[in-house]
A and B are shown apart, each in its own frame.
Chain A
Amino acid sequence: MKPSLRFLRAATAALLPASLATAQLAPPPQAPAADGEKTTSLGRQYEGIVNIECNTLEVDYRTPWNPATPGGGSGTGFLIAENLFMTNAHVVSDASRLIIRKVGDPTPYRARVKHIAHDCDLALLELVKPAAAFSTVEPLKIAEEVPKLDTTVKVVGFPIGGERISVTRGVVSRVDYQEYSHSGADQHLAIQIDAAINPGNSGGPVLQDNMVVGVAFQGYSGDVAQNTGYMIPTPVMRRFLKDVEDGKYDRFVDLSISHFPLMNPAQRKALGLPEDGDLGVMVASVDSEGSAGGALKTGDVILEIDGHAVESNGSIDIDGEQTELAEVVERKFAGDKLSLKIIRDRKPESVEITLKGASHYLMQANRYEQQPQYVMFAGLVFQPMDKPLMTVAAPGSLRSRYWFQYFTTDELYREKPQPVVLTNVLPDEINTWLREFSGQIVEEINGVKITRLKDVSDALQKEDGSSFHLIKLAGEGRPLVIDRKQAADAQPRLLQKYGLGASAYIE
């Protein structure tokens, strides 16, 4: 089983006491220069690196009508331009209040999120009131290139183990694609380093020659793997910064295909390639609503992507570095073109694809900054299927697990863009016989096909002359029958009894 990555945000108890804000740092002592770096005052050198304290509101998808639970944590951030701090999205997600603290300055500065990118775990913050204390601080510079293997890097931040700024050092151990665990559904380039990274380091800069080469963001706990921390490398940081230049974040684009290496001579021959060659990968599946939908199909061979030759294991060469072919797409934006040389039905062809972001997979990604949606009717709680729901709810029926896992792969979104689950039955005399039915996907209500949560409330409001509401669940032959008159009487009683402010919240 795959070990799970953990975040490096330091969790704290709910509502940090304000007095903590005044316990602050004296300038750290000067250290001798190392690795040929220019000698600067450590105080000055790290001035742009700040501690971020985040109070959060965490929602509970089991009781979607409840206000959220206050919580909090802290992480690191760094100044990259005037009144602009970069950190991880997971440090500031679901924030109710943000405080930035500067090394050697006890003042808590209130901050707010300017841009947040959950798919690549980055965020930009600004101070609510620009402070003079930062006017003289030199912003950190972001390096042009990805650091080379086995070169030394420093991680600077505010991890657990003390109050003051911490510096650790290590080498670049590996450059590879990794799942970004903040979203749980995105993969991007990530760099593994062996410097100690601990909770609280999240969002902090990784430095080489006083330039930022990455943002520390996740790692394995010590009982899984030793000395493996990951940072978000500069191509991902730069893409994020470029994306928000127009004032809003548009997410990464994706080709939405899977591809299979072409190592097997018979496979190569059948697809019209030289048997002993080492170029080309086979397109396995294509999301028909993704960027490549209609342009590529199963069995196509990709030979070249934007002029980069694709090797039979799916790697390409960008600026002398071996990387995955997806990296070409990673650096592009919605509306950008991608040109492919392919072999289809044994004949060479050229294909141009206009890139767009994938959206259906978001159902399988973690959610932030969102109030959970629901409809409660006659004690029956309906919620849209998504990752947080499937995480907190019991595994559910075999069918709902299938819908969740194969939502994009089997293109189930075509049938139901937002599957609705009967998640709970709040006990009342009206639903005495319906309690065993939770965990199932709703198929139809009063003759209306349910494809999204809005359909549920619409269908329940529909008058069809019958004295019953009729609810059909997927794979369940017995309909749920609710007397219309009794349901109308029960609604205020249920709202009051179970403390719901409203019968529904639909975006």
Chain B
Amino acid sequence: MIPFRSLLTACLLAAVSPLLADDAASPARSMLRVNITSQPYNFGLPWQKQNPGTRRGLGALLPGNRVLITAEMAQDASYVELEAAASGRKLTGKIEAVDYELNLATVIPAADTGDFFAGMIPLAVDSALKPKATLDVWQFEANGAPVVSPIELNRVDLAPYFLDDQFFLIFQATGGVQYRAGTFTLPVVHDGKLAGMLLRYNSRDQVADILPPGMISRFLDDVAVPPYEGTPNFGAKLTGTLDPQLRSYLKLKDVEGGMLVTGITPGFSADKAGIKDGDVILAINGNNIDSRGYYNDPDFGLLAAGHLLRGGAKVGESVQLKVARDGTTLNIPCTLLRRNPEDYLVDPYMFDRGPRFLILGGLLFQELTQNYLQLAGREWRDRAPFRLVYALGNQDDFLKQGRRKLVFLSGVLPAPGLIGYERLRNLIVTSVNNKPINDVKDLAEALKSPTDGIHKIEFSDFPKVIYVDAAQAELDNKEFVPARYRIRELQRLD
């Protein structure tokens, strides 16, 4: 597609930056406003969605009329709009791809674009960017005029992008950035190429965390070749070996560093490769790991070794691990696999869909989600029902028992067939009609076989067991629940 250059844009740019060639990338020609209306599901009342709210952010225009934004902006999107900053022209878009772990998403036009992209210049990604450089943070004023703030890139680390406990490579930069017009997710540019997305900015210390271009490239490459793979998980906990008494016990030589492996998740990368609890990983792909758990990266210097197993690795890739076990050194190849959110007992995050649930004559069963527990507020780890919080923190114990998901009775919609059960809530379901329940589908299946017209539902806690009249529950599902609670969707199994 040949970009159409409007005279007006060219003049405007000339005034801002006379040295800029008229086919060079610039905020006005390479950045769009993105307005996203997001509407998360209600995890307490899973048949409905919450109040919609609109976020306004900035996206970087990439080749092929793709606009790059953060996943944080894209979450639970029900309506997406691209907006040309100067003209205010709008175009309906849609989310093409999203990775909540890498915190990246692409927006593409939902329909015919007309001349919306005429004169725009897509950005290339500067994936070779080294940590010492001056970058420009791009923004728009409310009136559409560009604002460019230079920052100095000076540090590399691993930090969470958007979700807690998900550590990936970040670039840290210092410099003054003034937030304009309540936008977030700001493209960062170096030499006319996309050099990252600004994730966070601490205005007191003037420190910006930037999602680096290398990670953007890996995301875009992954999107370009379906199916989307995402990032792998090592599937074990790694801790440093600085403690000399621990080192001596593990028979480690003083010159070696190494990370101790503990808590291996059954069935994932480390487990399948034959890594054992108590192994010490001395090197990954020839990169020696020190006793703090860092290696010397050729591009970025000292970096946490987790990068080699997650953000810096591909799904299906085999890494060579040098492992100390019981005084000997082994070389173990390890194929890095992905653990999807669905592979956890409790999905670590859930966007764009609601929890699976089933209503039986007013009894509301759900699969446990972290979002449900978070309804208890900021202190949810202390306030949410303890049994469920404990299950979340000890998922592997439940997975070992053969559970896939944790089905629980989250509450009761009082209905004619449920007299005496009104106060039951937050009870983990163990079996229904004597069949073990490992997800909501199991529940739906088990409910097909009541005994003498009565369902038997067993819980791990008080009152341990209740019985429900099957015909009454069916009748209440048909009439009472839809009429009195205005619920049309009585289950979501997929």
- Contact residues of A with B, CB < 8 Å? 258, 260-267, 269-271, 282, 284-285, 298-299, 395, 398-399, 401-402, 405, 409, 432-434, 468, 470, 475-479, 481-483, 486
Contact = CB atoms under 8 A, between A and B. Distances in A.
Nearest to B472: A266
Interface stretch (B88-96, B105-113, B168-176, B463-471): B463-471
Interface residues of B, number: 38
A136 to B, nearest CB: 55
Contacts of A432: 243
A407 B274 CA distance: 36
B420 A263 contact: yes
Contact of A481 (B248, B418, B462): B248
A405 to B, nearest CB: 6
B394 interface: yes
9 cross-chain pairs, A with B, having the tightest CB-CB distances, nearest first: A477-B262, A263-B420, A433-B243, A260-B463, A266-B469, A270-B467, A264-B420, A481-B249, A284-B463
Interface in B428-485: 452, 454, 456, 461-469, 472
A398 B249 CA distance: 28
14 contacts: A258-B462, A263-B420, A265-B469, A269-B469, A298-B465, A398-B389, A398-B393, A433-B246, A468-B245, A475-B394, A477-B263, A477-B278, A478-B260, A483-B248
Contacts of B466: 264, 267
B421 interface: yes
B contacts with A: majority SS: mixed
Contact of B249 (A263, A479, A486): A479
B237 A477 contact: yes
A298 B456 CA distance: 13
A285 B277 CA distance: 37
A249 to B, nearest CB: 30
B251 to A, nearest CB: 11
Contact of A284 (B237, B386, B464): B464
B462 A398 contact: no
A267 B277 contact: no
A402 B237 contact: no
B255 interface: no
A211 to B, nearest CB: 40
A478 B246 contact: yes
Interface in B372-392: 382, 386, 389-390
A462 B419 CA distance: 59
Contacts of B260: 477-478
Interface in B238-273: 239, 242-243, 245-246, 248-249, 260-263
A266 B417 contact: yes
Main secondary structure of the interface of A (DSSP, over half): mixed
Contact of B462 (A260, A401, A433, A477): A260
Contacts of B386: 401-402, 405
Contacts of A470: 249
Nearest to A378: B245
Interface string B414-425: 000111110000
Given A258-B463, A269-B469, A468-B248, 10 more contacts: A262-B420, A266-B467, A284-B463, A285-B464, A398-B393, A432-B243, A433-B243, A433-B246, A477-B260, A477-B278
Contacts of B421: 264
Contacts of B456: 270
A300 to B, nearest CB: 11
Nearest to B245: A481
A477 B237 CA distance: 9
A269 B245 contact: no
Contacts of A398: 389-390, 393-394
Contacts of A483: 245, 248
Contacts of A405: 386
Given A261-B420, A270-B456, A468 B465 contact: no
Nearest to A261: B420
B249 A269 contact: no
Contact of A433 (B245, B382, B389, B452): B245
A260 B420 CA distance: 9
B473 to A, nearest CB: 9
B162 to A, nearest CB: 24
Contacts of B261: 477
Interface string B268-308: 00000000011000000000000000000000000000000
B418 A264 contact: yes
Given A263-B420, A398-B394, A402-B390, A284 B243 contact: no
Contacts of B469: 265-266, 269
Given A264-B418, A401-B386, A478 B239 contact: yes
Residue picked from B237, B246, B389, most chain A C-beta under 10 Å: B246
Contacts of B464: 260, 284-285, 298-299
Contacts of B420: 261-264, 267
A464 to B, nearest CB: 13
Nearest to B262: A477
